[in-house]
A and B are shown apart, each in its own frame.
Chain A
Amino acid sequence: MKQGVVPDDLTRPFWEAANEHRLVIQSCVACKHLQHPPAPVCRVCGSDTVEWKEMSGRGTIYNYGVVHDCPIRLLQEDQPFNVAVVMLAEDPGIQMYSHLPGTPVDEVPVGAEVEVTFEATANGQMVPEWRVVGSSGEGGEQA
């Protein structure tokens, strides 16, 4: 199970939305740039007027690795496990990590479509996770 999450000021809107099963990403009001992880100001134009924008919850698998030696104690009993990088449909430059629940270890279809789901962490805080919804993409082990 994932460690619990204690929201801080910067990320509280993200975690509160996750508890409502919504995925939000920080967006600059001035230049419309999306950024994740969030920051106090826009990393492109420097504006301090940033807002949280709801995403469609769709994306594609950009890449993945298989963790065999995890530093997080709570996750060690689940080794080995996938950690994929998902690119959001709204902006492929925005990445999110995923354990890809339902996808066998090291059988990750790179390029496949995924959709967001929400999973409880150790303290009940919900966290975005992702499930494969299409069969497109390159399956098979890492080279």
Chain B
Amino acid sequence: MTENAPASMYRTDEGMGLWEHRGKVAAVGVGHSPTARRWDGRAETCVGAISLIALRRAIEDAGVDPAEIDGLVMDPVTTTGAYWPKDKPVPPEVVGAFNSTDNPLDGIAGLSAEWILKNMPELTGIDFTMYGPGCMSNAICVAAQAVGDGLTHTCLVLKSWHNYEGRYYQGGANAGSDLPGTAALHALWGTPACYGTALQFAEYCRKYGKNHDMMAPFIENSRQNGLKFPEGYWASHRPEEITPEDYKAARWIAKPANLFDNDLPIMVSAAYLYTTAERARNMRQKPVYILNHAASNTRPRSLTPTLDEVEADTARTARKIYEGAGITAADLSFENMYDGFAQFHQFHIEGLGYRGMKFGEALDFYQTDISIHGPNPILPSGGNIGCGRSRFWMHTDSIQQIQERAGERQVTGVKPEIAVSGGPMPLGGRFTVWSATPD
């Protein structure tokens, strides 16, 4: 049985000093599946199938013999908020198309390491599997620590998402007539997922004298960058820019968060190959070294984080990021922090002090040149707003930018040497520092 990573594998505390494996672990392969808005019911497009595509592409990208791979770190939870209805039969033709596990929904509504290994017979050398649940940001921290600790030397990292018919989070308990007492304490009031972030943004605007319209350049830039990400949903299926006028006219979801402040749930999978710095030298791609990984385990005092709690935690996270990597904010070539919801990206980058930014200054920064061609790139991946909801575009982009193979997205106003990516939320996020060199 594959276990969740122990808490000790995440670097959660301040004062831990340089990461003991700084520069000794590298990303050497990237693989993405095609995207889809929702599952069409076919075996070849189920979440298991697209995961196999991503994994095999990452292996091919790295130029590694699959038999040399000895580790797999992944997230077994694949839902975007869509759940398989209790009374809906599991399609036998989909289950039968693969080597199944005891769980008939494995590969359809979730994904175990066992399912992956049963369906990738070429992975003959795997003797380490572990779950880094939550999102890719978690899984890559676990993989980096595992490689550094010597638990695996050549490790696949996987995150996949499934999405079904129906509106986001509108089934299950939300369609019912009552709620359990604990859930009711926050759920009775009918807040959508973006509400907490919208609250923080509202307080931010009051505190610093900003407004929602000031987010427009960030949204426009994110979609422009995302349309240069060929693996992304919008570039693949709906190459639509978002103009400032589109943004300002969009309908509210939870004011002050509108439609374009939210991302679009999609089906997609991505995989990376991590290895030791020594082995990476002989692989096909330029190694991207990991200088540090850091984590936040902070919980809000009550129902929803206050702006004070958010700012204190993003500042604390930045100190952990920089301390373990042995860098300062001035060393960052670019940033790729999370954006799904768009309205907390500024919390991440203000906490980082990106380009000397202080709290309350990000929205003014967004009014300057934040493009991939300028000296201050903001989210060159395009993030979830630019590519659809995956929570991993920023990691792929950081790797590809540093390898200087980001194609049309390649930053040109800075030399891509050191970057930071991570998320999701300011409280509870996981972060990675990437570098072109190991020291």
- To the question of whether A and B form a pair in one complex, the answer is yes
- A residues contacting B by CB (< 8 A) are 2-8, 10-12, 14-15, 35-38, 43, 62-75, 80-81, 83, 85, 93-99, 106, 110, 121-123, 127, 138, 142-143
- Cβ-based interface call for B185 (8 A): yes
The digit string for B93-133, where 1 denotes a CB below 8 A from any CB of A, is 00000000000000000000000000000000000000000
Q: A93 contacts B302, CB within 8 Å?
A: yes
**Given A66-B252, A143-B206, 7 extra CB contacts under 8 A:** A2-B189, A5-B188, A11-B181, A12-B181, A37-B302, A63-B203, A71-B167
- Cβ-based interface call for B212 (8 A): yes
Closest to B185 in A: A37
Least distance between B98 CB and chain A CB atoms (Å)? 33
Q: A8 contacts B202, CB within 8 Å?
A: no
Q: Interface residue tally of chain B, by bracket?
A: 35 or more
Query: Which residues 165-194 of B sit at the A interface, judged by CB distance below 8 A?
Result: 167-170, 174-182, 184-193
Partner of A5, one of B167, B174, B181, B205: B181
User: Chain A contact residues: over half helix, strand or loop, or mixed?
Assistant: mixed
Q: B178 contacts A65, CB within 8 Å?
A: no
Q: How far is the CA of A106 from the CA of B235 in the complex (A)?
A: 36
Given the known A-B contacts A3-B177, A99-B189, are A143 and B184 also in contact in the complex, defined by CB atoms under 8 Å? no
Least distance between B185 CB and chain A CB atoms (Å)? 5
The digit string for B310-324, where 1 denotes a CB below 8 A from any CB of A, is 000000000000000
A-B pairs, 4 with minimum CB distance: A4-B178, A11-B181, A95-B302, A75-B190
Closest to B303 in A: A95
- Cβ-based interface call for B256 (8 A): yes
Partner of B179, one of A6, A65, A66, A71: A6
Q: A74 contacts B177, CB within 8 Å?
A: yes
- Cβ-based interface call for B38 (8 A): no
Enumerate chain B residues within 8 angstroms of A69, measured Cβ to Cβ.
Answer: 192, 251-254
Given the known A-B contacts A85-B199, A97-B303, are A122 and B177 also in contact in the complex, defined by CB atoms under 8 Å? yes
Q: B202 contacts A121, CB within 8 Å?
A: no
Partner of A121, one of B170, B188, B195, B304: B188
